Every structure is written in C-alpha cells, then in structure tokens.
C-alpha cells in the first residue's frame, strides 16, 4: 500500500497552483478525506517525523495539560492526539469531516480504555463561518454534548491547515481559535510547509491535494491572529518540511 501511494505522488508547482481556482482545490481536498482515509498512515509514510513530533508533544504540549483542561482537536482523524491528550486532561472534543475516521476514533478510545473524548462530524470551514459567530458555536456544541461547562484551554491543529487552501479561510479558523481560548491559551500546530521560499501545491494522481505555505507565511498568519510561537521544530525533505509549533495566545 505504501509503495502504491508513493508511486502515485506527483508534485505540481506553484505556478500551476495559481491557475486552479481555490474553490476547486478546496472541494477536491474535502472529498479526498472521505475517500482515502485508509491511506493515511503517518507511522509508515514519515517515521522520522512522527518520532520528532512525538518528542515535541510529550515535552512541550502534554506537560501544559492540567486535570481540568479541556481540549479541542480540529481535524482529529482517528484521534491519535485526542487520546494522548485525554489521558492527561478532563475532556477532548475531536472535530473532523470524515465519518470513517471518527468511527475509528471511537473504536480507538474504547481500545485505550478512556471515555473522555467526544467526536463530532463537522466541516470546520463551515463551522468557522457560522453567521452567529463563536458564542453560537459554543452554545451549540455545549447543548449537543450536554456539557454546560464547555471551556477550551488547548487547541490541536494537527496536519490540517495544509488542506485549507484559501488564506482567508485559514485566518478565519485561526481567529476562531483565538476567540475560543482564554488569554495564555495554548495551541499545538503541526503542518507541512514549503522547503523553498514559495508556496507549493501538492497533488497526487489519486486526487490527494495539499498546499504547502512557506514558514514565513505561516509565522506571519499566526502573528496576525494574535499567537506567539513559544517553541518550534521541523524536519526538511525535498519539496517540503514538517513543522511543529507550540503557540500561546497573547
Ligand atoms: C492528515 S489528517 C490529520 C489527522 C490528525 N490530526 C493526525 O495528525 O493524526 C487531516 C484530517 O483533517 C480532516 N479535515 C480536512 N479538512 C477538514 C475540514 N474542512 N473540516 C473537518 N475536518 C477536515 C480530514 O478528514 C483528516 O482527518
């Protein structure tokens, strides 16, 4: 499966990326996660990255969780981060668009013997554009979950931003994260970024697509949204790098 997946990967450059309407890219990327979820296996695809991420998360993120902390995991997939966080905190809310991933997440929490993760099927792009704004989002989640004390201190954004093609959407999501968190609230951001100094569109023959922004673009957006980078690390490959940031709301 891994060999097949690698063979199918074809990079297309940033020039071509600029000719493709962003709405088209976004629609394809959303559909992909519903179709290709079984091909997502970072342990096989990027073993060194997974080790680097794990060390960073253990050292810098999990240590900030308290027993009363509540965590929002955006683009949670099958709940790897949600479950690691849930072992250290009060509750984790995992949000993802893929029902198959969420079902796997439910099964993984049972295997892990924990019951403090709630998975929700949402398109985060739509979720962050709700006309009534954040208070309504909070009220709806709290109502649906029967938890009147929904109060998020930590947000995980793990390998998710590269599937948000429009910078305006990305800023909207970052603004929502900023609004949800208390001051000094913490965000963990992992993302694939371009190794060069221009952004890249990555596309595979099977339809998988991602945008690799440059590290400078990413840092600027984080700063504009009101987050300070407390720690960061990365591993570089040919065309892209895997970055991890610990962010604090200013
Ligand atoms: C590469 S996976 C990362 C999963 C997980 N955070 C991890 O690192 O193990 C990206 C996830 O983002 C989800 N996703 C992408 N766009 C989304 C959207 N607009 N709304 C909700 N989930 C989305 C996909 O379904 C997929 O599960």
pLDDT band of 15, cuts 50, 70, 90: low
What is the predicted pLDDT for the residue at 5?
43
* pTM metric for this prediction: 0.89
Give the orientation angle of helix 133-145 with respect to helix 167-180, to 10 degrees.
Answer: 60
pLDDT in tens, 64-109: 999 999 999 999 999 999 999 999 999 999 999 999 999 999 999 9
Please indicate whether residue 125, judged by its CB atom, sits closer than 6 Å to ligand 1: yes
Average pLDDT over every residue of 204-218: 89
Per-residue pLDDT at 65: 98
Amino acid 242: pLDDT? 97
Is residue 12, in this structure, part of any structural domain at all?
A: no
In ligand 1, the atom with minimum distance to the C-alpha of 77 is 27
The predicted-structure confidence for 162-190, as pLDDT tens digits, reads as follows 999 999 999 999 998 998 898 999 999 99
Phi and psi torsions of 88, nearest 5°: -115, -5
Q: pLDDT tens across 51-73, in order?
A: 999 999 999 999 999 999 999 99
| Residue 207 domain-assigned (yes or no) | no
Q: Are strands 70-74 and 154-158 parallel, antiparallel or unpaired?
A: parallel
In a domain, 236, yes or no: yes
User: Could you tell me which residues come within 8 angstroms of residue 162 by beta carbon, excluding any fewer than 6 positions away?
Assistant: 191, 192, 210, 211, 212, 213
Do residues 213 and 199 make contact, with C-beta atoms less than 8 angstroms apart? yes
Task: Work out the average pLDDT over 144-159.
Answer: 77
Specify the CATH number for the domain of residue 71. Answer: 3.40.50.150
Checking if the pLDDT of 121 tops 70, the result is yes
Q: Nearest residue CA, atom 11 of ligand 1?
A: 75
| 96 close to ligand 1 (CB < 6 Angstrom) | yes
Q: How far apart are CA 181 and CA 69, in angstroms?
A: 11
User: Is 80 close to ligand 1, i.e. is its CB under 6 Å away?
Assistant: yes
Q: How many CB atoms lie within 10 A of CB 178?
A: 18
DSSP 114: -
| Token pair recorded at residue 32 | 């992909």
Is residue 103 in some structural domain? Answer: yes
Is 11's pLDDT higher than 70? no
For the chain, give the mean pLDDT. 86
Q: Best of 23, 29, 31, 33 to mutate for ligand 1, by most ligand atoms within 8 A of CB?
A: 33
- Of 92 and 39, more confident: 92
In a domain, 139, yes or no: yes
The more confidently predicted of residues 137 and 149 is: 149
Domain presence at residue 74: yes
Alpha carbon of 214 to ligand 1 centroid (Å): 20
pLDDT at 130 over 70: no
Stretch 34-59: mean pLDDT, rounded? Answer: 89
Domain total of the chain = 1
Token pair 């690698």 in the structure block, residue = 6
In a domain, 108, yes or no: yes
Q: Is residue 100 part of a domain?
A: yes
User: Ligand 1 pocket, 160 CB below 6 A?
Assistant: yes
Ligand 1 pocket test: pick from 38, 75, 97, 243 the residue with the most ligand atoms within 8 Å of its Cβ. 75
What's the N-to-C CA distance of the chain in angstroms? Answer: 44
Q: Which helix (H) or strand (E) holds 71?
A: strand 70-74
Range of the domain at 57: 46-193+221-249
């Amino acid at each position: 499966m891994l060999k097949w997946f690698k063979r199918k990967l074809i990079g297309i450059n940033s020039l071509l990326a600029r000719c493709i309407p962003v709405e088209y890219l976004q629609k394809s990327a959303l559909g992909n996660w519903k179709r290709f979820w079984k091909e997502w296996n970072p342990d096989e695809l990027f073993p060194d990255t997974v080790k680097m991420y794990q060390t960073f998360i253990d050292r810098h993120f999990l240590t900030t969780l308290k027993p009363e902390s509540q965590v929002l995991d955006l683009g949670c997939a099958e709940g790897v981060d949600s479950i690691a966080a849930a072992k250290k905190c009060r509750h984790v809310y995992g949000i993802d668009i893929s029902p198959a991933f969420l079902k796997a997440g439910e099964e993984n929490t049972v295997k892990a013997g924990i019951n403090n993760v709630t998975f929700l099927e949402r398109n985060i792009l739509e979720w962050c554009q709700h006309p009534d704004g954040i208070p309504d989002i909070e009220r709806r989640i709290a109502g649906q979950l029967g938890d009147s004390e929904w109060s998020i201190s930590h947000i995980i954004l793990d390998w998710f931003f590269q599937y948000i093609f429009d910078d305006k959407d990305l800023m909207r999501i970052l603004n929502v994260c900023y609004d949800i968190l208390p001051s000094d609230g913490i965000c963990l951001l992992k993302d694939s970024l371009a190794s060069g100094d221009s952004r890249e569109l990555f596309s595979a023959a099977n339809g998988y697509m991602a945008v690799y922004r440059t590290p400078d673009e990413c840092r600027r957006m984080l700063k504009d949204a009101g987050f300070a980078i407390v720690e960061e690390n990365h591993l570089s490959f040919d065309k892209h790098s895997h970055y991890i940031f610990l962010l604090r709301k200013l």
